[in-house]
Amino acid sequence: MSMAAIADAARPAPAGRASAREEIRLASRDLGQGLRQTDLSVPGVHCAGCIRTVENGLRKLDGVEHARVNLSTRRASVQWRGEEAPDLLSALDTLGFPGHLAETGGDRMDPELGRLIRALAVAGFAAMNIMLLSVSVWSGADEGTRQAFHWISAALAFACLAYSGRVFFLSAWSALRRGRTNMDVPISIGVTLAFALSLFDTATGGRHAYFDAATTLIFFLLIGRTLDHVMREKARVAVRGLARLAPRGATVIEADGRRLHLPVEEIAPGMRILLAAGDRVPVDAVVEEGVSDLDCAIATGESAPRRVAPGAAIQAGTLNLSGPLTIRASARADESFLAEMVRLMEAAEGGRARYRRLADRAAALYSPVVHATAFATFLGWMALGGGLHQSITVAIAVLIITCPCALGLAVPIAQVMAARRLFEAGIMVRDGSAIERMAEIDTVAFDKTGTLTLGRPRLVEDGKTAPGDLEIAAAIAARSGHPLSRAIAAAGKGTQPVLTDVSEHPGLGIEARLGGSLYRLGRAEWALEAGADAQDAGTVLSRDGRLLARFAFEDAPRPRAREAVEALRAAGLGVTVLSGDTPGAVAATAASLGIDDFAPALMPAGKVERLAALAASGHKVLMVGDGINDAPALAAAHVSMAPASAADIGRNAADFVFLRDGLDAVPAAFTLARRTGRIVRQNFALAVAYNAIALPIAIAGWVTPLVAALAMSLSSILVVANALRLRGAGNPARGRRYAPRLSPEPGL
């Protein structure tokens, strides 16, 4: 199902081997008495067999006291004791379930969701019982029974209002205090007045009480609200389950040579840090010793690895690829590149905060009309001599019948259905307003490295390399973790020769012996004999210093990138590329995807400026990006989207996160957002039409509690049924969805 997509997308970040156990310790939570808890994300578990393998395997480790797998969230929580953390990650690797550290406490249920479910349970209990009593009152119970039932209903309704009604009262109050109005204001007024009037009528022995209307209203609205929350929670858990890219700590070399693993926050400028190959740079620093290549794709958007030597300044967030480095921190974590991006993000976050939800805008129009109508009805009945009690009763009946039950459900139900469809397609939505904003866009701005492309180089096979040479190169390259080596290794086919004396030279390349000759794969100036072809840079394969083959690389575009761009164009959207990479690389990618509007070599602030300029000229822009340098732009855009491979900061800033590799997630999300917008408008129209019919009946004073209960339920069901249409047409995954469940699970 969808979780399998998470497994695909959550490629574990290459954490530093030496510091992996220190990272586990830093990420753990102290439970007291020496016991610590670590939460691991294990995307691969899917059946009872997996649970048993993982739990038993982890329990066998030294120091582990307890291990439990949560299959719903694909997490394992491990409690352990001891000075040094058990090597949980490599244990998981050995068990065949690669995992990564999760934010501790991330799978704890959101307190707000618990509150909503409890409120829903109380409202459901009260509404059902009051409805039972009301039915016997409506069918003509004698006066004594009616009185008794009204009093019991009053007690139940009071409990319901006091406990479950709080959700609406608090939200309405906080809106009113800020001089605004939202959907909860008319709901709160309607419910409270209905209860107060019914209580008065019960005390004075009246025939009609609206306790059932007040409680069912709360019950229905809470259903919508709870579903909305469940959906968001699901998306949040899925996004939090992705591997964290930023390091939690770093190995610091003290003045006396001792090595100490410190949390990133405690690293001060001037400290010397040991950076193993595969580690990410924790803070801005200067290289002191060692030569290596840095992958800057996620930090600056440059697709080609950067070679660094002593004296080079390096940015936090870049990935050390080939050799160990000793670096000297030049800034604190909160003054580093990453923190700079956070500041830019906060400054940029203006447009989105100003956005007002559709439902709130509707409420701003709706509640004055309804309340004025109710007041006019009261005045009208008074003028016609209806008496104070009769006039108030009719006016409150108007409020109850127009109480926006359908309106309150119109938006959340449609968005819940949309979020569910997106979840099935591997797209996580942060909240409902993101779907509303997505439907409004007219321009899409893409980042290049890691967004339009996969951020992984691919070998360009020009046919000039002799097949035998390619096999040798692939065999050598397979020994290295460098991205260019991996690309060459991936291109190798057929049988691979057996190499001896393989050694990697950081920042230069790899050499190996085969049949008496020395082969070198790497930088031209290192692999070739001095003076042979000094001006030719690039990656080459050489035998005893003579050129055998030259390799060129390209950044592979994401699957279905071209189709996605074409689909967005066909939908009438403008497409542009905002990249931090070199003009040449950006132009090549843009041309291959048929995009003619692009801006290369942009700094993070430059991207924000571009978006601001677009916004100033009246455009609503969707930003799709993945890097740390994209985070401010993601926050500044009208709505934003990030792939699962994005930097932590970008993933958290984006409204949508797509877990599968294909770029077709972008047009898919846009199309569904448009359809949701249409359904929401239809729901509004239905609710208004219902009011147009019900209002005259209410003003005429014909509304009894029975009529009110029927009318309200009917309008709610209509709105929900309309929203359910989002599930239907055009869902190819629908039939297959439950298929894996039917087949017996392997391993049992």
Partner 1 sequence: MSSLVFLVPLALLLGAAALGAFLWSLRSGQYEDLDGAAERIFLEEEGDSAGGEVDPGKSPRKAKSS
Binding region for partner 1 (CB under 8 A)? 47-49, 51-53, 55-57, 59-60, 65-66, 69-73, 107, 109, 114, 117-118, 121-122, 125, 128-129, 132-133, 142, 144-145, 148-149, 152, 156, 748
CB of 125 to partner 1, least distance (A): 4
Structure tokens at 747: 């391993």
Q: How does strand 427-429 pair with strand 656-658? A: antiparallel
Return the ∠ at Cα 238 (arms to 236 and 243), rounded to 5°: 110
Alpha-carbon span 281 to 274, nearest angstrom: 10
For partner 1, give the closer residue by CB, 30 or 143: 143
Alpha-carbon span 288 to 630, nearest angstrom: 29
For partner 1, give the closer residue by CB, 142 or 462: 142
For partner 1, give the closer residue by CB, 38 or 188: 38
Alpha-carbon span 395 to 697, nearest angstrom: 12
CB of 519 to partner 1, least distance (A): 43
CB of 1 to partner 1, least distance (A): 10
Distances in Å between the Cα of 423 and the Cα atoms of 73, 168, 397, 420 are: 14, 28, 41, 5
For partner 1, give the closer residue by CB, 146 or 638: 146
Query: Is 447 noted as a catalytic residue in this protein?
Result: yes
Catalytic residue among 447, 581, 630, 661: 447
Which alpha helices (H) appear in 537-603, and where do they start and end?
561-570, 583-593
Side chain identity, residue 531: G
Instruction: Please state, as a whole number, how many other Cβ atoms lie within 10 Å of the Cβ of residue 148.
Output: 12
CB of 109 to partner 1, least distance (A): 6
Is the distance from CB of 394 to CB of 386 less than 8 angstroms?
yes
For partner 1, give the closer residue by CB, 48 or 162: 48
Half-sphere exposure of 474 (CA within 13 A, CB side): 18
Side chain identity, residue 566: E
Structure tokens at 52: 């048993």
Distances in Å between the Cα of 555 and the Cα atoms of 98, 417, 456, 604 are: 27, 37, 6, 21
Return the ∠ at Cα 144 (arms to 138 and 149), rounded to 5°: 55
CB of 62 to partner 1, least distance (A): 12
CB of 532 to partner 1, least distance (A): 57
For partner 1, give the closer residue by CB, 464 or 741: 741
Instruction: Please state, as a whole number, how many other Cβ atoms lie within 10 Å of the Cβ of residue 563.
Output: 14
CB of 222 to partner 1, least distance (A): 14
DSSP 415-467: HHHHHHHHHHTTEEES-HHHHHHHTT--EEEE-IIIIIEEEEEEEE--S-S-H
Alpha-carbon span 748 to 52, nearest angstrom: 10
Is the distance from CB of 589 to CB of 452 less than 8 angstroms?
yes
Return the ∠ at Cα 550 (arms to 524 and 451), rounded to 5°: 95
Alpha-carbon span 499 to 543, nearest angstrom: 13
Alpha-carbon span 350 to 612, nearest angstrom: 10
For partner 1, give the closer residue by CB, 54 or 527: 54
Alpha-carbon span 666 to 437, nearest angstrom: 14
For partner 1, give the closer residue by CB, 55 or 87: 55
CB of 171 to partner 1, least distance (A): 22
Looking at the annotation, which residues are catalytic? Answer: 447
